[in-house]
């Protein structure tokens, strides 16, 4: 797993502190060339992994990287699925069955399932889940995707529903179909670790908010710090800057002092912020991370 990951929230108008800033970023990055320009800055700063949602516009980034292999040598994608908003919008507009038809591969897959006796009515969730994962992954064809994440909206919904088996379904399929490591994004790290352990998912990759302010750390900082110190998993720290409330040096120093964080994901939209964050990472993390 890469040690420094570049996130995509800023490209799609997501900012947990400022709606005004989120709107300004959404307007700026309507032009795909603006996104590519920032990714180029990140790449030239030494970042080789893009942790991104399966937003439809990411497909354009994938096309650009495929078309320019020499420019992006060693560049990998860490898809995070599903992009919940597109499913929610489709469910509202078309209803559940038609929404599924629109997202499943164009091979009559849903019809085939129904004809063979498997359907939503019979609750064959596993088969439909695998097809939806495959549909989400189509945009990354031909590109390296060593880790595939389940987005926190779905992870935490499944936790709330008690549908623990879903995590095994996801993990097994991304390993078998894509030769990738499964990753899980959550807003409730302690609870997710308990479930993954019960599902025998050993040493999982888990991305969660980890920051000095306890910003969006459900369950409290103490529980997260204890989990990082004592549980067997590979932590990926996100929201390390607490959505801009912390300076890079202070934020990265806190994460580094936890001792067992394996990767950091951060988003930025300017050369200055990328440079400052990378400099802080190199100052506070050991050479194995700083050299990335």
| Number of structural domains in the chain | 1
d(CA 29, CA 89) in angstroms, rounded, equals 21
248 or 94, greater pLDDT: 248
Q: Are 190 and 227 within 8 A, CB to CB?
A: yes
16 and 239 Cβ atoms separated by less than 8 Å? yes
Residue 160 lies in a domain: yes
Report if residue 71 sits inside a domain. Answer: yes
Does residue 64 fall inside a structural domain? yes
Residue 127 domain-assigned?
A: no
In a domain, 112, yes or no: no
Q: How many residues does the chain have?
A: 292
Q: Assign 18 a pLDDT band (cuts: 50, 70, 90).
A: low
Q: Which residues span the domain enclosing 169?
A: 4-83+144-290
Instruction: Give the pLDDT confidence of 156-174 residue by residue, as tens digits.
Output: 999 999 999 999 999 999 9
Q: What is the CATH number of the domain that holds 34?
A: 3.20.20.100
Does some domain include residue 230?
yes
178-214 per-position pLDDT tens digit:
999 999 999 999 999 999 999 999 999 999 999 999 9
What's the rounded Cα separation, in Å, for the pair 148 and 137? Answer: 9
- E-strand stretches of the chain: 4-7, 49-53, 76-81, 147-150, 181-186, 205-209, 234-238, 263-266
User: Is 103 inside any structural domain?
Assistant: no
Nearest to 150 by CA among 183, 198, 104: 183
Locate 165 and state its tokens.
């088996």
**118 assigned to some structural domain:** no
Q: What is the pTM of this model?
A: 0.86
């Amino acid at each position: 797993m890469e040690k420094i990951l570049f996130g995509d929230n800023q490209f799609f108008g997501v900012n947990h502190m400022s709606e005004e800033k989120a709107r300004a970023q959404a307007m700026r990055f309507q032009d795909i060339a603006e996104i590519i320009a920032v990714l180029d800055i990140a790449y030239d700063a030494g970042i080789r992994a893009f942790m991104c949602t399966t937003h439809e516009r990411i497909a354009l980034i994938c096309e650009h990287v495929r078309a320019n292999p020499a420019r992006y040598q060693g560049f990998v994608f860490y898809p995070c699925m599903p992009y919940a908003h597109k499913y929610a919008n489709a469910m509202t507009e078309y209803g559940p069955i038609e929404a599924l038809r629109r997202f499943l591969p164009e091979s009559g897959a849903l019809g085939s399932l129904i004809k063979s006796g498997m359907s939503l009515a019979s609750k064959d969730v596993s088969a439909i889940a695998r097809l939806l994962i495959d549909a989400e992954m189509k945009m990354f064809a031909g590109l390296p995707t060593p880790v595939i994440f389940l987005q926190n909206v779905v992870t935490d919904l499944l936790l709330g529903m008690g549908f623990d088996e879903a995590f095994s379904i996801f993990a097994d399929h991304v390993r078998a179909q894509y030769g990738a490591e499964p990753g899980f994004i959550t807003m409730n790290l302690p609870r997710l670790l308990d479930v993954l352990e019960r599902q025998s998912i050993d040493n999982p990759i888990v991305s969660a908010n980890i920051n000095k302010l306890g910003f969006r750390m459900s369950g409290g900082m103490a529980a997260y710090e204890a989990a990082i110190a004592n549980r067997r998993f590979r932590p990926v720290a996100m929201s390390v800057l607490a959505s801009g409330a912390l300076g890079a040096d202070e934020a990265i120093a806190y994460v580094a002092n936890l001792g067992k964080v394996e990767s950091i994901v951060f988003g930025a939209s300017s050369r200055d912020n990328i440079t400052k964050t990378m400099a802080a990472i190199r100052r506070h993390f050991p050479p194995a991370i700083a050299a990335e």
